[in-house]
Amino acid sequence: MRSLFIIFCFSFPILLMAQDWSGLPRTWPDSAFYLDDSGYVRNKTGIWIQPTDTTALFGIAWAKVNCPETWYPEYAWLRLWVRVPGRDSLRLSLRIKGARAHLPHSWHLPPGRHRLEVPLDELPLTGSHEGPAYLEWSFDGPWVWQKMALISRKGPAPPLRDGFGQRYATTWPGKVQTEADLEEAARAELARLDTLTPPAGRSRFGGWTGGARFEATGRFRLEKGPVQTDSLVSWWLVDPEGYPFWSLGVTGLRHKYPWSDVTRWAGREGWFEALPAPDGPFAEAYEDSAYVSFYTWNVLRKWGSLDRWREISFRRLQTWGMNTLGNWAHETVLATTPIPYTRALRSNTGAAPRLGDSRLPDVFDPVWLAHLDTLFARCGQWQADSLLLGYFVDNEMPWGDLRLLEQATDDNYLRIYWHEMLQEAYGSLDSLNQAWGTTFTMWEEAAYLSDDFPDRPAFQAMVRRLEAAYVEEYFSGIAITLKRWDRHHLYLGCRFTRALKPPYVIAAAGRWCDVLSVNVYSYEPIREDMNQWHLLSGGLPMLIGEHHVTLESPRQFPPNFRIFDAAGRRTYYENYVRTWASLPYAVGCHWYQYKDQPLTGRGDAGEQRLVGLVDITDQPYDHLIEAIRVAAAQLYDWHAEAVRE
């Protein structure tokens, strides 16, 4: 393998000169540069790099240098002067990287000097400003970086998004250009829906009429038992009519929700080609005084009303073969759905006692159970609802890294519990000091530890005891209070993240939840990992509350992680559902989410992913719909096969 040397030359030592880039630093600290498996040496002539492979990576961390943070709309171009020495051509790629996405550019350069220009009409939004977090180059040969400049814009900047919330500067098949396009798309979809039928062999709830029937109780429940005479036992949900049920669902069936489904427009008016009128038929598209939902605006223009949109959405899901509304459907959707659904509750909002500023509730506070009682009292109204599967409580809490003593303030009741636990365990302060290797003179010193903890096995064992008591109080308090108000529906768990949590956390969930819910973002559920979840919970049935992969499309610049084209997403979905349904303790999985996220970031500058079953103009992604229909038609056979292994 040949060694490659890259020379970076500047007008001053380690200085990028540009006549219209004011405030450029005179020195660049070593921490500004990062390399992929390569070393480099700086001297008066520049930076020398010797990659360890034929393709190298070099970048600048923008936060490490005193350069302009805001690029849009002030600058029109990033201009680079480079030289390719020798006789070989060079493949050079530049990624302008934000916190969530990047803007890619590539060149194939022959030997000689080149001036390269990168248009800055679109940028990956990052944080509260529109500049980059990194500039990152990859290359396969030697080159000389001579100079770089930001070129000021002479006229007004073009918008980033058109009047439908789509990417302004790019086109693709099916892109909506006019309101007439929306109306035509609606007519075409209705005609297509007329040609489709839901999967055969289903009950009115979406259960499986082709398997053995369990006892009908008028509500959803769980059953561990055979559905065929030659099968071994396996977990099943059971629908109100007694048919085996496997939950194939989608989250977020809602036209709008604060922060999650809206994007900030206030102070960003130039980003958008058009915004809806704040008064009149499209006022519903706005949230507060600063945020807007292009999806809401589009469905109102496309279907005429939100009632009609809900009707079409229900018809879509039933025709496609989905039988469950996962977390975070809008209340008006839940009030009118003909499809089985779940409800989302949060234990740590409102008047919940919390550990300091964390998301964790102080479960040892006497107010905790009273708070839960007030929170869950409304669940009594749904006791007789046969369409309700059950309740998720909370979402992706930090169960793998509780750090209770670091989170708790001196006023938290957790401190009192910890103090009493230590006194009961050790009896005397001398015994505690001997076990921990400390020299405390008062119990309060141990009770009110800061984040400077003694690193001793005995101390760590006590922390684990505290955490085990904490999670037991958390899950038991929720389960008992929830069942007090609604004993007819399932407690679907807390929606863990995929990485295995401490055994005592999973075990406590297993003792009190009806279903163990885990959000699993991987190409497929890994059998070995999911087996561990199942076993540590004491054998609980499991439901995957979220999964997806992001679409590769000109609709959006690519994110900073793996993405999939349409064919890849179709393969992914079918494989994911088949793999999961083939495990005997799996009872369902839900796609995240119904629609794409706002392309200028949800909220102020949040996620901006193409993850929906429909796009921002409410057009279904055909490749995903085809995959859902294939999976829906076969999932009961897949799960029945699992119980015969």
pTM of the model: 0.91
Residue 299 has pLDDT above 70, yes or no: yes
- What gap in Å lies between CA 518 and CA 546, rounded to an integer? 8
The secondary structure of the chain in percent helix, strand, coil, rounded to multiples of 5, reads 30, 25, 50
Residue 640 has pLDDT above 60, yes or no: yes
Note the pLDDT of residue 18: 36
- Going by pLDDT thresholds of 50, 70 and 90, the confidence category of residue 62 is confident
- Going by pLDDT thresholds of 50, 70 and 90, the confidence category of residue 369 is very high
pLDDT by residue (tens digit) across 318-332?
999 999 999 999 999
Tell me the average pLDDT across 437-464: 91
Q: How many CB atoms lie within 10 A of CB 424?
A: 8
Note the pLDDT of residue 47: 52
Average pLDDT, the chain: 88
- Going by pLDDT thresholds of 50, 70 and 90, the confidence category of residue 14 is very low
Residue 10 has pLDDT above 60, yes or no: no
Residues with Cβ < 8 Å from 304, sequence gap 6 or more? none
- Going by pLDDT thresholds of 50, 70 and 90, the confidence category of residue 15 is very low
Report which of residues 598 and 120 the model is more confident about.
598
Report which of residues 13 and 132 the model is more confident about.
132
Report which of residues 38 and 266 the model is more confident about.
266
Percent of the chain residues past pLDDT 90, beyond the cut:
69
Report which of residues 321 and 30 the model is more confident about.
321
User: To 10 degrees, what angle do helices 503-512 and 527-536 make?
Assistant: 60
Rounded-to-10 torsion of CA 59, 63, 65, 71: 90
Q: Where are the beta strands (DSSP E) in 371-527?
A: 388-393, 490-491, 496-497, 516-519
The answer to whether the beta carbons of residues 510 and 536 sit under 8 Å apart is: yes
Report which of residues 469 and 606 the model is more confident about.
469
Q: What is the set of domains in the chain, with CATH numbers?
A: 6-152 (2.60.120.430), 247-253+295-401+468-616+629-642 (3.20.20.80)
pLDDT by residue (tens digit) across 301-321?
999 999 999 999 999 999 999
Question: Would you put residue 588 in left (φ > 0), alpha (ψ -120 to 50) or beta?
Answer: left
Q: Please report, as a single letter, which amino acid is at residue 250.
A: V
Beta-bridge partners for 42: 47
- What gap in Å lies between CA 152 and CA 160, rounded to an integer? 18
Instruction: State the Rg of the chain over Cα.
Output: 29
Note the pLDDT of residue 135: 84
Whole-angstrom CA distances from 621 to 174, 192, 633 are 11, 13, 19
Tell me the average pLDDT across 527-553: 96
